[in-house]
Structure 1
């Protein structure tokens, strides 16, 4: 994924599936300078947030990493 797409997803009212290492996440924010996004798991079990490289986010689940 690229930063422009991250911005579109964050500003969209739609529920757009995003994955990090095959795990469904919400994008909470982003840092253009660092090219990172702040994400948390969508399953709601933990409120843990982490900064991840935008390039490692996808809109398709990686079936090789269930």
Structure 2
């Protein structure tokens, strides 16, 4: 995924399925400068982490 698409997903009014290492996640914000995203697994909202945007996968 690229940083522009990640930002579009954040602002989308509908839920878009995105995974990190096969697990469904929610993207909180995008750091365009470092090309990372602040995410958490949908089933574990307290497990926030910063990951490379390129490691996120969108599922349609």
TM-score (norm 1): 0.84
Runs of 4+ in 1 over 6 A off after TM superposition: none
> What is the Cα deviation at residue 59 of structure 1?
1.0
Tell me the equivalent position of 1:59.
Answer: 58
Q: Encode CA deviations 1:17-55: one digit per residue, 9 max, x unaligned.
A: 000010000000110010000000101x34110000000
Counterpart-to-counterpart distance in 2, 1:46 and 1:10? 16
Q: May I ask how many residue pairs the two structures share in their alignment?
A: 59
- Which runs of 5 or more residues in structure 1 are unaligned? 61-66
Counterpart-to-counterpart distance in 2, 1:29 and 1:40? 11
Q: Which has the larger radius of gyration?
A: 1
